[in-house]
Amino acid sequence: METATLDCMNELFRLPPAATLGEQGTPFSPKTLATLWVAFWLLMISVSLQDTLHSPLIRWWEPVLWEGSSALIATGWMWLAVRFREQYAPYLDRPLIWFGRYLRWQPLVILTWLAMVYPIRHGVYAAVGRAYVHPGWGFVVMYESVKLTIFTGLWLGILFGIDSYGQWQLQRRRLLQMQKALAEAQLAHLQAQLRPHFLFNALNTVSALMHTDVARADRLVAALGDLLRISLRSTESEMTPLAEEIRTLALYGDIMNERFRDRVTLNWQTDQALLDTPVPALLLQPLLENVFKHGVERTVARVRIHISVQRDSDSLEIVVSNSGSMLEAEHREGLGFRSCRERLNIIYGNAASLRVGNEGDGVAARVRIPLVGTAA
């Protein structure tokens, strides 16, 4: 019986599909209010029924009639309050005005209450051959006015709380959507900066070999074509599997290794279990590019480049290190490093990091990406 009553109240308080609160309003859950409403009146009836245990003069149906008639008229007014709440939604950020808009109807509420509840009670009592006895009308009007004012304030407070919470949720969703759109715009801007920078350096590598070794230059052009195809595909999604990112890095390494064939040794150490992990596309290429620019081009000695991809607790750690060169005290990061750090911050917040520093006889760039709750 209680479930059926709740379903009925839920339908009563439900807004029609076309009724929305507009730009300033909020989504509304009628089930929440209906549940509270039914629970409240069941509690009131239960408390009133306790009187029958202490007074043999009161029959069980009398408390049910008293509270039931009150619930009937109160439900009608609550239904109107819910139906017209859309008009008052713009005032949710000004509570005094919001409450004032509703409370201006309080005199009419009191009048209809007295004009309907008491005739119902008198009628039922007369139907069973009894008289409904109550205090004088002066006392009744004053008593019911005070009681209804408290009752109205209570339920308007509940309705205000539900609507305010709904509005907060809606504004929060809109804020998250705006933040996501802003982050996507920032990522697109950073990617747009990286691609021309990357292409410029790759083409310079090919150009350096065009007049000295045509066969090697031809191989570089073919490798560059593969690299460009991967780069263009990365525009479709911000994230890519680690295996694809490693393949991109390997192609770039092959191109640069052709240029510095006798001066570079590339070593790879990759945990195969991590290859499906999503990572930002074209994240690692600027790190390897930086090694060739600052660690290989500026020396004639042989340089060892080590690329490590391992799991460290709940993080993916990627290390690109080289021997033979050290960071100077006045070292300033270039576009590639700045873009990588900004992209990591946008996607992962403080959970990811990029650190560059001197280690051993060279320089190491360490990227840490969380493996739990990775953005996709």
DSSP codes, 142-195? HHHHHHHHHHHHHHHHHHHHHHHHHHHHHHHHHHHHHHHHHHHHHHHHHHHHHH
**Are the C-beta atoms of residues 352 and 312 closer than 8 Å to each other?**
no
CATH architecture observed for domain 210-370: 2-Layer Sandwich (3.30)
Asked whether the CA dihedral 336, 338, 339, 341 is positive or negative, the reply is positive
Q: How far apart are the first and last CA of the chain?
A: 47
DSSP E strand stretches across the chain: 239-241, 264-270, 278-280, 303-312, 315-323, 353-359, 362-370
- CB count within 10 Å of CB 292 equals 23
State pLDDT tens for residues 273-283: 999 999 988 78
The Cα 180–Cα 178 span in angstroms is: 5
237 burial via Cβ count (<10 Å: 0-12, 13-18, 19+): exposed
Positions in the chain short of pLDDT 70: 1-30, 51-53, 181, 183-199, 201-202, 205, 231-237, 331, 334-335, 372-376
Beta strand 362-370 pairing with 315-323: antiparallel
Domains of the chain by residue range: 2-176, 210-370
**Are the C-beta atoms of residues 253 and 266 closer than 8 Å to each other?**
yes
**Are the C-beta atoms of residues 54 and 110 closer than 8 Å to each other?**
no
How far apart, in Å, are the Cα atoms of 84 and each of 13, 77, 226, 312? Answer: 11, 11, 63, 58
**Are the C-beta atoms of residues 317 and 367 closer than 8 Å to each other?**
yes
* Residues paired with 317 in a beta bridge: 310, 368
Amino acid 306: pLDDT:
93
Amino acid 10: pLDDT:
46
Amino acid 65: pLDDT:
84
Residues in Cβ contact with 49 at an 8 Å cutoff, skipping those fewer than 6 apart: 60, 63, 64
Amino acid 367: pLDDT:
94
Amino acid 195: pLDDT:
59
Q: Is the overall model pTM greater than 0.85, yes or no? A: no
